[in-house]
Amino acid sequence: MGQLIQQLINGLTLGSVYGLIALGYTMVYGIIGMINFAHGDIYMIAAIIAVTVLTLLGSLGIMAVPVALLITLVVAIIFTSVYGWSVERIAYRPLRNASRLAPLISAIGMSIFLQNMVQLTQGARVKPINALLPGGFELFTSNGFTVHLAYTQIMIIVVTAVLLAVFTWLITKTSFGRQQRACEQDRTMTALLGINVDRTISMTFVIGAALAAVAGVMVTVYYGVVDFSIGFLAGIKAFTAAVLGGIGSLPGAMLGGLIIGMIESFWSAYLSPEYKDVATFVLLILVLMFRPSGLLGRPEVEKV
């Protein structure tokens, strides 16, 4: 019983992170019909920036957790937004009217470039930070198993919930959100109504990057270590989450993220921690085979 509750908490934490990253995949797919393979690396860059900023703040003596966290988030969001915007400008926009394969390849190229850039400039070694938010609550003990809820887990879950609320409001209630959804449905018609479609697409990349930035910062605080290669695995898992939820569906991405997080936690606890990544990939294959439109996705209709 204790073990079960513990894994639910862990799964929810992990799932929140995957869900935030998955939103970026699904938004970009929704608007231009492409998978942004550089998205996981944007998340990695946010984590690296978090290490840098937190270390810098520490050396300046700014130790108050909420202040340090807020500054880190703001800096990471600003930098990764610029990265997200640039990725679109460099790897996607010039290929807007090319065959579907071309932007796919340029996105993978962008991903390799970003990883190598970070490896070259920051070094390949794992970067640790001092625990920013150590400790937590001991919820209860049953059969000698104590269920913990770490402060960092509370932070991740609360920040994700707040962010989701803001994001949902942005997409469903604001003029920008309407323009964004209109672009998803019919880009030509949206332009005919006076909307700058290119700018809307850029903003979509920026928002996706900002969400990934928050995930990257929180993971840094949660695990305390990052390196240049974390973007690949997190990216693939978040991509799986987006596909599982139904690529293009925003609630689907979050749901998919939570499910992947849960599967990974439970798999690690009850089956084998070494094979937890395999579980995700097996799931990806199964979803693609049996339900390619995902849990909440629309069946793909060929446009004529």
Partner 1 sequence: MSTMLEYSGVHAYYGAIHALRGVDLVVNEGEIVTLIGANGAGKSTLMMTLFGKPTASSGQIRFQGDDITRTQTHKISREGIALVPEGRRIFQRMTVMENLQMGATFADKANFDADLKRMFEMFPILEKRQQQRAGTLSGGEQQMLAIARALMGRPKLLLLDEPSLGLAPLYIKQVFKIIKELNTRDKMTILLVEQNAHHALKVAHRAYVLQHGEIVLTGTGEELLASAEVRAAYLEGSH
- Which residues contribute to the site for partner 1 (CB under 8 A)? 175, 178-179, 181-182, 185-186, 188-197
DSSP 128: E
CA 188 to the chain's CA centroid: 29
For the bound state, the minimum distance from the C-beta of residue 258 to partner 1, rounded and expressed in Å, comes to 24
User: CB of 248 within 8 A of CB of 298?
Assistant: yes
For the bound state, the minimum distance from the C-beta of residue 27 to partner 1, rounded and expressed in Å, comes to 15
User: CB of 63 within 8 A of CB of 131?
Assistant: no
Question: Residue 72 and residue 64: Cα distance in Å, rounded?
Answer: 12
User: Which residue, among 23, 39, 13, 10, has the nearest Cα to 233 in the 3D structure?
Assistant: 39
- Which CB, 88 or 264, lies closer to partner 1? 88
For the bound state, the minimum distance from the C-beta of residue 201 to partner 1, rounded and expressed in Å, comes to 13
For the bound state, the minimum distance from the C-beta of residue 173 to partner 1, rounded and expressed in Å, comes to 10
- Which CB, 15 or 248, lies closer to partner 1? 248
User: Which residue, among 47, 68, 46, has the nearest Cα to 225 in the 3D structure?
Assistant: 47
For the bound state, the minimum distance from the C-beta of residue 70 to partner 1, rounded and expressed in Å, comes to 33
- Which CB, 97 or 143, lies closer to partner 1? 97
Question: Residue 282 and residue 40: Cα distance in Å, rounded?
Answer: 20
Q: What are phi and psi of 265, to 5 degrees?
A: -65, -50
For the bound state, the minimum distance from the C-beta of residue 97 to partner 1, rounded and expressed in Å, comes to 12
Question: Residue 17 and residue 244: Cα distance in Å, rounded?
Answer: 15
The two three-digit tokens of residue 48, written as one number: 């690296």
DSSP notation for 266-287: HIIIII-GGGHHHHHHHHHHHH
Q: Determine the length of the chain.
A: 304
User: Which residue, among 67, 78, 26, 16, has the nearest Cα to 296 in the 3D structure?
Assistant: 26
Task: List beta partners, residue 142.
Answer: 145
- Which CB, 59 or 97, lies closer to partner 1? 97
For the bound state, the minimum distance from the C-beta of residue 277 to partner 1, rounded and expressed in Å, comes to 35
- Which CB, 181 or 291, lies closer to partner 1? 181
For the bound state, the minimum distance from the C-beta of residue 247 to partner 1, rounded and expressed in Å, comes to 15
Query: Which residue matches tokens 């610029």?
Result: 82
DSSP 136: E
Question: Residue 227 and residue 125: Cα distance in Å, rounded?
Answer: 7
